[in-house]
Amino acid sequence: MATMKTAIATMKVAQISRPGGKFEIVEREIPKPADGQVRIKIQACGICHSDAVTKDGMFPWIQYPRIPGHEVVGTIDELGAGVSEWKQGQRAGIGWHGGHDGVCLYCRRGDFRNCKNVKIPGVSYDGGYQQYMVAPVTALATIPESLDSIEAAPLLCAGITTYNSLRHAGRFEVGTVSNTTAACVNYIQQLLYHAHIAARPQQKSDWVWTMR
């Protein structure tokens, strides 16, 4: 009697197999979302210096192989059981905050960032350096249709960092010119503030202005 073979859908991922290891492009089975999770078809994932946490094994509890990436934008293509507030085809983003338990003391106070069981995409679970990823609904942020995925992805980490600095302090100072600086300049201009950049050599200052 002939046997039927079921083809397993696969995807490409960029993973780290061990602390300090190199990136490896491999194929994995496309994951299925569990209860309270969604699966996202990734359109863009930013590269952040904090990805070094996984690359270099800075947290001893990271389980390998692990896929970095926490500046993720894509569309929801499958819902896990119990998910009702999101729908298939909806755009969503995932930043450094990768989910919270909702029951600890901090969560009951609304301080989800300091949840005792907080998750970090690309650290606690596989992140955005892949074609599909699963994530808890508590990690998701809506992304407007008008915003380009490539432009939106860095806002979920570098963008939040600079915006919160401006929102709380009214000013933002950095010692190193970087993508974060460029994001800050954009925010300052959108808020109709004045931006002053001092950098050596002059090319660095000029580069920030070209990133506006």
Q: What is the pLDDT of residue 209?
A: 47
Helix (H) or strand (E) holding 133: strand 132-136
- How does the average pLDDT of the chain come out, rounded? 85
Query: What residue type is 3 in one-letter code?
Result: T
Question: How many Å apart are CA 129 and CA 142, to the nearest integer?
Answer: 20
13-32 tens-digit pLDDT: 999 999 999 999 999 999 99
61-96 tens-digit pLDDT: 999 999 999 999 999 999 999 999 999 999 999 999
Q: What is the pLDDT of residue 161?
A: 73
- Say if residue 168's pLDDT is above 80: no
Q: Tokens 């000029």 map to which residue?
A: 206
Are the beta carbons of 103 and 111 closer than 8 angstroms?
Answer: no
Q: What percent of the chain has pLDDT over 70?
A: 74
With cut-offs at 50, 70 and 90, classify the pLDDT of residue 158: confident
* Burial annotation 197-212 (CB, 10 A radius, 16+ → b, else e): eeeeeeeeeeebeeee
179-211 tens-digit pLDDT: 555 665 665 556 555 555 555 555 555 544 454
Task: State the average pLDDT over residues 100-129.
Answer: 96
- Say if residue 162's pLDDT is above 80: no
Q: What is the pLDDT of residue 155?
A: 87
Q: Tokens 């596989």 map to which residue?
A: 126
Q: What percent of the chain has pLDDT over 90?
A: 67
Residue ranges of alpha helices (H) inside 56-201 are 105-108, 149-152, 158-169, 179-190
Q: HSE on the CB side for 56, CA within 13 Å?
A: 6
